[in-house]
Amino acid sequence: MGVAGINALDLARQLIRRPSVTPEDAGALGILEETLTKIGFRCHRLRFQEDGTPDVDNLYARYGDGAPNFCFAGHTDVVPVGDQDAWSVDPFAAELADGMLIGRGASDMKSAIAAFASAAEAFIAAQSKDFGGSISLLITGDEEGPAINGTVKVLDWLASQGESLDACVVGEPTNPEHLGDMIKIGRRGSLTGRLKVVGLQGHIAYPHLADNPVPRLLAALTALNDRVLDTGNAHFQASNLEVTTIDCGNPATNVIPAAVNATFNIRFNTEQSAAALTAWIEEVCERKAGQHELRIDHGSDPFLTEPGAFTDLVAAAVQSVTGRPVELSTTGGTSDARFIKDYCPVVEFGLVGQTMHKVDERCRVDDIDALAKIYQSVLERYFQR
């Protein structure tokens, strides 16, 4: 726990009680801004917009003016609750039961934000003199959504203001089972393909008068799916392509459809590039799909923070509190670390992620306190270097 009023559990409960389902803020950032302002952070509320997307509120807060600037990044937005009747409690009541904090955002990731605020306060209070740098928080309301008006635009704003980041921890829930299991030091990239194969509608009893696009789509998808992209490398698991939907909207059993659509996604490691994968997909579709339309969306590139001084520092902080050996990993989906890695070294460490996005999302109360101690240890070790 911190001093002078920032109790990580209490702050986490206050944040959870704000139903900040993307893109709504519902007052969550205001609670955090008020808390940080009281301990000397200069706060900037940043609202960004873009045609065709919802406006989003973000927060950048900084304590100190000097370098280096250690940043904690995260998000106050949460995913929808789903079937509210399936929850054992009100998902936005932040109930405590059996040593657990239950609520949407408990693990992903309002408790981590509260833990960092508590850790920053405790670290600042313990300094008898200037600690030789700055501490900042970059908090978005657009991580669970399209991620257009969030972290990426805050980073652009920071650059325009002459602000720089020197190291960053993102508070995503990285641990599979126990606090201290895993630090994420990178992520695979993401590429999505949307393929429409065009044919000619007709009666199935007269196939010579029609052109069925389904076999050509299946041929293209089979060729894409059958290729082993790679077997991974020292830091990344293998790249994989998964077909996520096939649809032609045809309710009739005696009609050859006019067109059929499919969507697939590739999670790719550093053995691949978006350009090379795109060229391969286009070649396969030209060869197998016949008349078709293809759209490829490049979501993100893979990245890696090479194991070294910074990852060792964070790992040592984790082990000092949990006593557990910690794994450096690149597993999982994407996060806003994919944007931050262009500005400074970044790793991810937060709570246990078993219940994120699920009904009765929860985290251990004791883990919130331990996480605050870990974040405080990270700050102490970073500024003692």
CATH code of the domain covering residue 262: 3.30.70.360
Do 114 and 133 lie in one domain? The reply is: yes
Residue 143 is among the residues annotated as catalytic for this protein: yes
Q: Which token pair is 282? A: 């286009």
H helices within 20-150, ranges in order? 28-38, 111-126
Question: What pLDDT, on a 0 to 100 scale, did the predictor assign at position 2?
Answer: 39
* 88 secondary structure, DSSP code: S
> Tokens 């126990």 belong to which residue?
178
Question: What pLDDT, on a 0 to 100 scale, did the predictor assign at position 326?
Answer: 97
pTM (two decimals): 0.91
Residue environment code for 111-142, b if the CB has 16+ CB neighbours within 10 A, otherwise e:
bbbbbbbbbbbbbbeeeeeebebbbbbbbbbb
Question: What pLDDT, on a 0 to 100 scale, did the predictor assign at position 11?
Answer: 98
Residue-number span of the structural domain to which 19 is assigned: 8-187+302-384
Q: 150: Cβ–Cβ under 8 A, 6 or more apart, which residues? A: 48, 56, 58, 75, 140, 141, 142, 143, 336
Q: Which of the listed residues 300, 317, 332 is the one where a domain comes to its end? A: 300
Below-50 pLDDT ranges, the chain: 1-3
Do 31 and 164 lie in one domain? The reply is: yes
Residue 369 is among the residues annotated as catalytic for this protein: no
Q: Please provide the average confidence, as pLDDT, over all residues in the chain.
A: 96
Do 35 and 113 lie in one domain? The reply is: yes
Do 306 and 378 lie in one domain? The reply is: yes
Do 243 and 350 lie in one domain? The reply is: no
Annotated catalytic residue within 77, 121, 336, 348: 77
Helix, strand, coil % in the chain, rounded to nearest 5: 30, 30, 40
Question: What pLDDT, on a 0 to 100 scale, did the predictor assign at position 1?
Answer: 38
Annotated catalytic residue within 57, 143, 163, 172: 143
Question: What pLDDT, on a 0 to 100 scale, did the predictor assign at position 170?
Answer: 98
In a domain, 152, yes or no: yes
Do 145 and 157 lie in one domain? The reply is: yes
User: Taking Cα atoms as reference points, which of 348, 344, 345 lies closest to residue 334?
Assistant: 348
In a domain, 324, yes or no: yes
CA pair distance 68, 261, nearest whole angstrom: 50
Question: What pLDDT, on a 0 to 100 scale, did the predictor assign at position 320?
Answer: 98
| Alpha-carbon distances, residue 375 vs 11, 73, 95, 171, 194 (angstroms) | 16, 12, 25, 10, 42
Question: What pLDDT, on a 0 to 100 scale, did the predictor assign at position 82?
Answer: 96
Question: What pLDDT, on a 0 to 100 scale, did the predictor assign at position 128?
Answer: 65
